Chains A and B, each alone.
Chain A
């Protein structure tokens, strides 16, 4: 596919992700070999200067995160494979096409922070990925590729909030997946109270390529402040709804019109939601923006997980956002009041608007509630839950007002 830049997915469908030897044949485990010969500090510095930033949505510099880990007798490396953000399946694709790169990346992190044990927390919707990963680990151990670094796969059970790193840790520990108060951050006190690095699948899987090709090389790909590639999943009303790996300076319009082949059935574009269900809805006039983390921020949106949901001109934005508000009510863990009550009220008001029973006062109320949730919710779930609502009131306010009582 023209314009794609395949790094993590270069050998997709040409190698068996379960077989370590297949991966070694295409240059696999060279990065780990190099990492093991480096001084720990230099290794962390190398990752830092590559500019690699978290691919789970928060965009934090990976090397920087590792550098916060204090000395301790036991430390853990945890991989977040809980991708619950609706419209996202990039981590599944990375595992199904290149699982060994994930294992190698985790072992590189283990080398950097002196950890001997890794955990992969895989969402409960992917039992077949758990099976694949267990085979991949077995194969890597059998050829000695991982050395004394061990990896165990744990399976979640259908809770979106477990994508939040402290909730994920709670879940591995066998508890309800409720987020913890921060600080302390997991880097200092994480899994079973010891220093723990939690990174996303895509972040780990990029590490082998950074180590074998050099930080400078990686830093030169894509957007300077968010370098590298990003795997996107295109859904909704585009012609070619599939996954793509692109450099991070790739334009959003090109994702939809070049790679995505434009809008289905000759219809016109209405909106695109980037980053999953907690992302902002973006109107036509903002499509000429690169997909990288910071550029998305300048248009009030977020790259998030890299999900791209396209809506054509016939779609009812208010109805879709009402559906999204039900999602957050269902997925709120209930620990903090701003989110538990807030997501409930958001859904209630959205249903009222959608049913044509609301007035302008309801719109003002939901905007006020959104501000409270953004400021007061304990974790990202409650903070981000109102974004689809506020971004559509901003850019598609006429669709809301059309449904208000006085216009009925």
Chain B
């Protein structure tokens, strides 16, 4: 695993690049560790409070540990009318967790999201930002079994 300091310092010449650094950290850890926020604040010349403020403003950034696979269920209107509610219930039941929680084995985190821009095939979930199309409650076990 790459060191968080190397990840942040690799982007230090990018003006305003703290969000890019947070993305890079999440690609490695799936969340932004507390010590990395402090380091990023120092490298990009902002206070720790400001860096934390940025990290917690955006819904795709997380300051809390998440699972290996982050499942996001779109609940915007087009997915809502296509049956997103049933799909959420099916995922919760299949994984035994509620929205916002991570499975005990650290494999899956379930989050809600707004529109992911794949409305040609609703309802849509994304797994680590990869869209999965035309999801139904019945298809949930099969879809999730592909993630080892």
B22 contacts A92, CB within 8 Å?
A: no
Residues A156 and B58 in contact in the complex (CB < 8 Å), given A86-B76, A89-B119:
yes
B114 contacts A84, CB within 8 Å?
A: yes
Determine whether A266 belongs to the interface, using a CB cutoff of 8 Å to chain B: no
B58 contacts A158, CB within 8 Å?
A: yes
Residues of the A chain whose Cβ atoms lie less than 8 Å from the Cβ of B147: none
Residues of the A chain whose Cβ atoms lie less than 8 Å from the Cβ of B137: none
Determine whether A173 belongs to the interface, using a CB cutoff of 8 Å to chain B: yes
* A330 and B75 alpha carbons, distance in the complex (Å): 12
**A127, A175, A331: the one within 8 Å of B129 (CB):** A127
* A123 and B50 alpha carbons, distance in the complex (Å): 22
Residue of A125, A126, A243 most packed against chain B (CB within 10 A): A125
Residues A83 and B117 in contact in the complex (CB < 8 Å), given A174-B44, A235-B122:
yes
B114 contacts A236, CB within 8 Å?
A: no
Q: What are the interface flags for A303-327 relative to B under an 8 Å C-beta threshold, 1 for contact and 0 otherwise?
A: 0000101010001000010011001
Determine whether A11 belongs to the interface, using a CB cutoff of 8 Å to chain B: no
* A157 and B23 alpha carbons, distance in the complex (Å): 8
Residues of the A chain whose Cβ atoms lie less than 8 Å from the Cβ of B50: 175
Residues A177 and B58 in contact in the complex (CB < 8 Å), given A155-B20, A235-B122, A243-B120:
yes
* A237 and B114 alpha carbons, distance in the complex (Å): 19
B114 contacts A331, CB within 8 Å?
A: yes
Choose the segment among B10-18, B89-97, B99-107 that binds chain A (4+ C-beta atoms closer than 8 Å). Answer: B10-18
**A84, A277, A330, A331: the one within 8 Å of B77 (CB):** A277
A158 contacts B113, CB within 8 Å?
A: yes
**A128, A160, A173, A330: the one within 8 Å of B16 (CB):** A173
**A176, A233, A241, A320: the one within 8 Å of B53 (CB):** A176
B117 contacts A192, CB within 8 Å?
A: no
* A318 and B15 alpha carbons, distance in the complex (Å): 46
In residues 161-184 of chain A, which contact B (Cβ within 8 Å)? Answer: 171-177
Determine whether B138 belongs to the interface, using a CB cutoff of 8 Å to chain A: no
A88 contacts B53, CB within 8 Å?
A: no
Interface size on B, residues (CB 8 A): 36
Residue of A128, A176, A277, A315 most packed against chain B (CB within 10 A): A176
A159 contacts B115, CB within 8 Å?
A: no
Minimum distance in angstroms from A278 CB to a CB of chain B? 11
Minimum distance in angstroms from A4 CB to a CB of chain B? 16
Determine whether B136 belongs to the interface, using a CB cutoff of 8 Å to chain A: no
* A104 and B39 alpha carbons, distance in the complex (Å): 38
A175 contacts B54, CB within 8 Å?
A: yes
**A154, A236, A243: the one within 8 Å of B78 (CB):** A236
A124 contacts B76, CB within 8 Å?
A: no
Residues A241 and B119 in contact in the complex (CB < 8 Å), given A87-B76, A320-B81:
yes
Determine whether B59 belongs to the interface, using a CB cutoff of 8 Å to chain A: yes
B77 contacts A87, CB within 8 Å?
A: yes
* A307 and B76 alpha carbons, distance in the complex (Å): 13
Residue of B19, B44, B58, B77 most packed against chain A (CB within 10 A): B77
B81 contacts A237, CB within 8 Å?
A: yes
Minimum distance in angstroms from A94 CB to a CB of chain B? 12
**A155, A158, A192, A320: the one within 8 Å of B59 (CB):** A158
Determine whether A213 belongs to the interface, using a CB cutoff of 8 Å to chain B: no
Determine whether A200 belongs to the interface, using a CB cutoff of 8 Å to chain B: no
B57 contacts A123, CB within 8 Å?
A: no
B59 contacts A157, CB within 8 Å?
A: yes
Residues of the A chain whose Cβ atoms lie less than 8 Å from the Cβ of B120: 89, 233, 235, 241-243
Question: Which chain A residue has the least Cβ–Cβ distance from B116?
Answer: A125
Minimum distance in angstroms from B51 CB to a CB of chain A? 9
In residues 1-38 of chain B, which contact A (Cβ within 8 Å)? Answer: 15-20, 22-23
Question: Which chain A residue has the least Cβ–Cβ distance from B26?
Answer: A157
Determine whether B140 belongs to the interface, using a CB cutoff of 8 Å to chain A: no
A86 contacts B115, CB within 8 Å?
A: yes
Q: What are the interface flags for B112-133 relative to A under an 8 Å C-beta threshold, 1 for contact and 0 otherwise?
A: 0111111111100010010000
Residues of the B chain whose Cβ atoms lie less than 8 Å from the Cβ of A243: 120
Residues A159 and B81 in contact in the complex (CB < 8 Å), given A85-B115, A88-B117, A323-B75:
no
A-B contact pairs, 28 of them (CB 8 A): A86-B77, A86-B78, A87-B115, A88-B117, A124-B58, A125-B117, A125-B126, A154-B19, A157-B19, A157-B23, A158-B60, A159-B57, A174-B17, A174-B19, A176-B53, A176-B54, A176-B57, A177-B57, A233-B119, A233-B120, A235-B120, A241-B119, A242-B120, A307-B119, A309-B78, A315-B81, A320-B77, A323-B77
Which residues from chain A sit less than 8 Å from chain B, CB to CB?
83-89, 92, 123-128, 154-160, 171-177, 192, 233, 235-237, 241-243, 273, 277, 307, 309, 311, 315, 320, 323-324, 327, 330-331, 333
